[in-house]
Amino acid sequence: MSRVHTVTLNPAIDQTVSLPHLAVGEVNRATAVRHDPGGKGVNVASVLADWGVSVAAHGLLGRANAAPFEALFAQKSIADRMLRVTGETRTNVKILEEDGRTTDLNLPGFPADEGHLAALAEGLGSVAAGELVVISGSQPAGLPASATARLAARVQERGARVLCDVSGAPLAEVLAAPVLPDAIKPNRHELEGWVGRTLADRADLAAAAAALAARGIALVVVSLGTEGALFVSSDGAVVARPVQLSRGSTVGAGDAMVAGLASALVEGLPLRATAARATAFAAAKLQNPGPHLPGVDQVRALEARVERMAAADWIRAAGRTADQGERT
């Protein structure tokens, strides 16, 4: 199995604060707190390593508090290709309530510049043809919106495949590039931001995803929270959702789905199997705090129970529900 490379331009230390209920404007007493080295690409690398995939982590890392990341990479045998920069990696505060609701407070981190981007691109020169590069997450202040698209172009020139999980202006730049990524994973809100309109209707959502696939993106995945996710490729369109969702921290669940996609792409799984793998990774991550999978057997059991249906049936089901509501 070839190595997967992850790229994290804006990593973070995730501070997860647990409490019964968040009362805004009042004093709140936490029941627990934990700190996890993270950032979307770091989370993807961590989950892939749990699955047994050989993975290298690239990106930018604040020199002042790099120790937690270095410990994670050493513990999971992740190749550390992160470029050290002056300053501290930011902290993201996740407030987790007992009912599972999570409130995020994402703090600013170190600034970056074109010199950092050039050094990172040079480091990606180790990527081999046929390998998979996962570029995910936000960008630090100082980098142009085109940073992700430029890094993608760099590795595509080397014959590597690219999976992007970005949003906003970086996503627009990626989708305007001469060579498109092999796979993308926006959520509904991020896709709406790109198309410039709401996609509350299932048919509109599926059409937007299909239009991206028709432009040449081999796999388009739109995550839909508790509704599951929509998977679109030249083989068709499938909606997948887990049979059972565990109660737990949702921090990193989307990144676990990206890791599942990456493992499926590396193994060359067909569309329906890819949908089951990615959905199982996301559901399995809920069983553990931090960016970690449970045992492989547990994930396999969840994978076997993922519900999948053709997107056309999913769309028709929404229409039937609406009709029944009008008649009652």
Residues annotated as catalytic are 255
- Residue-by-residue DSSP string for 215-282: TT-SEEEEE-GGG-EEEEETTEEEEEE-S----S--TTHHHHHHHHHHHHHHHT--HHHHHHHHHHHH
Asked if residues 162 and 156 have their Cβ atoms less than 8 Å apart, the reply is yes
* Amino acid residing at 73: F
Asked if residues 264 and 278 have their Cβ atoms less than 8 Å apart, the reply is yes
Starting at the earlier edge strand, list the strands of the sheet with 4-8. 79-85, 55-62, 4-8, 132-136, 161-165, 183-184, 219-223, 229-233, 236-241, 307-310
Helix, coil or strand: residue 57? strand
- Residue-by-residue DSSP string for 1-55: -PPEEEEESS-EEEEEEEES---TTS----SEEEEEEE-HHHHHHHHHHHHT--E
| Distance (Å, whole) CA 102 – CA 42 | 20
